[in-house]
Amino acid sequence: MQSRRLRKLRNRLAVAVAVALALGALAGHATAASLNATGAWALAPVGHAPTPPMGWNSWNAFGVNVNEARVMGAARALVADGLAKAGYRYVNIDDGWWLQRRASDGRMIIRTSLFPSAAVGGAGLTSFRPFTDKLHAMGLEAGIYSDLGRNVCSQAWSPDNPNLPVGNRAEREVGLYGHVTQDISLYFKDWGFDYIKVDACGIAHYGANGAGGKQGKFRVFPPLMVDQNTAQSNIPAVRALYARVRDALRAVRPDGRFVLSLCNWGAANVRAWGKDVGTMWRTSTDIQANWSRMLHSFDSVSTREMYSGPGRWNDPDMLEVGNGDFDQHHLLQARSHFSLWAIEDAPLLIGYDLRKAPQSIIDILGAPEVIAVNQDPAGNQGVLEYTSSDYQIIVKTLSRRGEKAVALFNRTDEAAKIELNSAHLKMVADAPITVRDLWARRDLGSFTGSRVFTVRPHEVLMLKVSGKPLLASGYYLSEMTGRINVADDGVLVPEEDPTIHRPLDPYTGSTGSDGTRPVYAGWGDPRADSTPYDDTLRIANVSYRYGIGALANSRLQVQAEGGFTRFSAQVGIDDTTRGRAAPVRFEVYGDGKLLAVSRPMHFNEAAAPLRADVAGVKVVELIARQIGTDQGAVVVTWANAALE
């Protein structure tokens, strides 16, 4: 009797564990079972964008009122104003170009009243080839727009627009759903596009009660993704749909010359998996040309430094430089917005009608030394080295040793004195640190130790500094995030990041029920020089300025490429841990071989040193393995983690 009950219990337990593992695997979460060093760099580039893509997009300037004259006007301005030379290459059509999907064979038809050069032949035969040929002849590249679902954003949200797709229900289904191979081949092979932005309204807003569904004009699409609600989103399904687009692109462009821009507004936890599926991925809902909304977009990306790197970019949305709060009467704000995007390695996509651009706006968009920060080949996103609700210091490690870009950001309405010190920069305190103002393009002398800068209200002081690095050789891992792949994040249930600035919701105002809370998962993901919950790194009451904070059951890959000889860190359970019961073992692998391991570390136990010889190693893997279960998430710290 006793043993039968025990057996039953054991069986039930085994089933429960199997289900939990399967669920975890489905949601893309680390489970102890999947936590193996692979020895191989797990990221294959999606398309080609070794530095953040730069270009122009029609949406912020024209909304759904896009047409050929407007787009070509922007293209000509990019060339004439020197912006093309400064790096802006992509000219992207957003929502609004379509007439319908041809009934006979599903081929997409362009609205030739808007794009006259697309009328290339008999009835129903349209092509963007003349348009992309023109752009290519100007030395530019061409971008197009579609949606993951059957229907698109404008059909849901701009029902009165006269230029919406026409015809019967099937003819008005202009999105990729059910047509991925056909459309991608048409856009990239026949029409010659180089870049595609794939929106997500079709899988989100066409449920029976959605903005598209309620109109009764479209086929109902039960939402796979609920904007503002991670738990109600079918994360694996959304990811799989984007992965199909990626695979279709790889098939038509085997040389990898394409950009795939995921536009699902930071929902469905895309901030964790965008790197595996897209070239860039939106981290927030739409930016607008006002200060508060810009802060919201910026905050959605500023804690995501571990996810971005060469070929994979966090996208806080397109630029509003030139528009609204960032127009020629607000040049300081425009420079701030541009500086923040530059230092965060955001794609720089101009959203302004360049045909009317005053020189002051062109000068901002073309600022060579600020653009150089964004396009630095190391691809290390800026890291928040100091942050409060008022001021922030963002530091980006540049590829030339000893050089860093620094943004001193005054978020308040009053002038501020912000002190920058050598510790923010990971530089030695008693050697001179030289400073250059990247907007004024002027050297500001040098300092040792620290220096106070006066920063005007809403200003970002954008500097480049050079000094003597604290480490005689190599880097702290938090200085080389462009080489890190978060292979497993250790997050069991995606949680929303509460640190993001809350603006008035642009669609529902103050009366909407769901508009004002931050709704992007990412809380608990690994961070540089911070715990995963945005605290100071601290083990047994000793705080550490530098290091990587993560949850247990995480695996980080570092692309060392044989360039280092030694890994070192001090490891332990962070004082901010939610679970205090389970110990954690810290393991270091080199190309799949175990090189060093800590003893099981417990809460409140002093940090233990961990060192490994990594000479010749291509991929270093750091695994924090939780031993047993815990009621809460276990937070770990790889303090002072460095490759020298």
Residues forming contacts to ligand GLA in the complex (CB under 6 A) are: 59, 94-95, 153-154, 199, 263, 265, 286
C-alpha closest to that of 356 among 549, 71, 74, 80 = 74
Measured distance CA(405)–CA(423) in Å, rounded: 14
Q: Are 294 and 331 in contact (CB under 8 A)?
A: no
Strand partners, 626: 584
Rg of the chain (C-alpha set)? 25
Q: Tokens in use for 364?
A: 């901002």
One-letter identity of residue 374: N
Q: Are 412 and 390 in contact (CB under 8 A)?
A: yes
Q: Tell me if residue 199 is catalytic.
A: yes
Half-sphere exposure for 202 (CA within 13 Å, toward CB): 22
The residue (of 24 and 212) whose beta carbon lies closer to ligand GLA is 212
Catalytic choice (95, 183, 199, 325): 199
Q: Tell me if residue 413 is catalytic.
A: no
Shortest separation between residue 318's beta carbon and ligand GLA, angstroms: 7
Which residues lie closer than 8 Å to 586 by C-beta, 6 or more apart? 569, 571, 597, 598, 601, 608, 610, 622, 623, 624, 625, 636, 638
How many C-beta atoms surround the C-beta of residue 169 within 10 A? 11
C-alpha closest to that of 638 among 560, 528, 541 = 528
C-alpha closest to that of 56 among 453, 321, 272 = 321
504 DSSP assignment = P
Shortest separation between residue 198's beta carbon and ligand GLA, angstroms: 10
The residue (of 95 and 305) whose beta carbon lies closer to ligand GLA is 95
Strands 195-199 and 98-101, sheet pairing: unpaired
How many residues can be counted in the chain? 644
The residue (of 94 and 299) whose beta carbon lies closer to ligand GLA is 94
Shortest separation between residue 227's beta carbon and ligand GLA, angstroms: 10
Tracing tokens 């039953």 back to the chain, one arrives at: 8
Q: Tokens in use for 81?
A: 């104003």
Q: Tokens in use for 289?
A: 């040309």
Catalytic choice (133, 190, 286, 534): 286
Shortest separation between residue 293's beta carbon and ligand GLA, angstroms: 13
Measured distance CA(620)–CA(417) in Å, rounded: 41
User: What DSSP element (H or E) covers 125?
Assistant: none
User: What DSSP element (H or E) covers 155?
Assistant: helix 153-157
Nearest-CB residue for ligand GLA:
153
Strands (E), 203-244: none
Half-sphere exposure for 595 (CA within 13 Å, toward CB): 24
Catalytic residues: 199, 286
